Amino acid sequence: MRILSIDSSLGTQLAVVDTAEAVDAADTDSATGRRALRVLTQAEQTNTRRHAESLGQMLSESLSAPDVADCPLDAVVAAIGPAPFTGLRAGLVTAEVVGRTRGVPVHGVSSLDAVARRALDELGAHGVERAPVVLVATDARRREVYGALFRANGPDDVTRLTEISVCPPAQVAERVAEQAPGQVGADGNVDVVAGSGVALYPELAELASCHEALAPVSGDALTQVRIALARLDRGEELGTKPLYLRHADVQVPAARKRVR
């Protein structure tokens, strides 16, 4: 199964992967239980304000790569945020255009889910065997972060324990505590914090029991494929409605009042 994955929640990431059938018929990584993916091509740029300018070229180069050009795509997976409006829209529009022109389904995955899954993978690599709780905080600009609490759901997916909120870093603990009492704070159950917001506001690491931050990113094109496949296997529908959480800065002006 060939899947194009696009994430534009921070910079721009694009990858074309083949699922486990292409990797010696092994469905999972035997050491971790994770779904195996073969990366056919991958591209990334880190500028957070050049999504539209970069996506077209990245897409053209990726779809014309030798391992990709001669085989059709089976699906597209795209990050649905939350993230700043313009970048997120560029990625989702690109995904929808590819889906329509190729006649394949487009599936959406929250970029916060992908950050949480990556952090859980790193905790697993460090030998953490219990079911850890991860607080994800990603950059929302305007001196705010998008935040939510997560726990693992199998080796490839996550379960969100709270709603996603957008607020100043100083209010993250309060917002999460309202929805998941006892999970945040010096004596709480948060094991680690992750996301681009933690890189900007290191004080958020104090909310975790280990006072440590992991995966200071926003979204991950490869991880979101694993999440999408796990949810599709359970028969879930993965809509592509973007999680903006804010109104656009530019609004359609109201009609002028008539002068009588």
Number of H-type helices and E-type strands within the chain: 7, 11
CB-based burial label for 154 (10 Å; 0-12, 13-18, 19+): middle
Residues 136 and 226 in one domain: no
Residues 35 and 154 in one domain: no
pLDDT > 70 in the chain, percent: 85
20 has a pLDDT exceeding 90: no
Number of domains observed in the structure of the chain: 2
What pairing do the DSSP bridges indicate for beta strands 157-160 and 145-153?
Answer: antiparallel
Domain-located, residue 252: no
What is the predicted pLDDT for the residue at 212?
76
Residues 116 and 205 in one domain: yes
Mean pLDDT for 171-177 is 90
Residues 115 and 104 in one domain: no
d(CA 251, CA 64): 38
Domain-located, residue 133: yes
Query: Backbone phi, then psi, for 195, in 5-degree steps?
Result: 120, 165
Q: Could you tell me the pLDDT band of residue 23, with boundaries at 50, 70 and 90?
A: very low
What is the predicted pLDDT for the residue at 26?
46
152 has a pLDDT exceeding 60: yes
Domain-located, residue 258: no
Residues 183 and 154 in one domain: yes
The model carries a pTM of 0.88
Residues 44 and 86 in one domain: yes
**Which of 86-95, 115-124, 175-184, 224-233 has maximum average pLDDT?**
224-233
Higher per-residue pLDDT: 66 or 6: 6
Domain-located, residue 242: no
Domain-located, residue 250: no
d(CA 229, CA 236): 10
**What domain range includes position 104?**
2-110+219-233
What CATH number did the domain enclosing 184 receive? Answer: 3.30.420.40
Mean pLDDT for 151-177 is 94
Using alpha carbons only, how large is the chain's radius of gyration in Å?
19
Residues 167 and 77 in one domain: no
Mean pLDDT for 45-68 is 88
Residues 105 and 31 in one domain: yes
Residues 127 and 76 in one domain: no
Domain-located, residue 244: no
Residues 61 and 131 in one domain: no
Domain-located, residue 246: no
Residues 104 and 160 in one domain: no
Maximum Cα–Cα distance for the chain, whole Å? Answer: 78
| DSSP code, position 28 | B
Residues 13 and 47 in one domain: yes
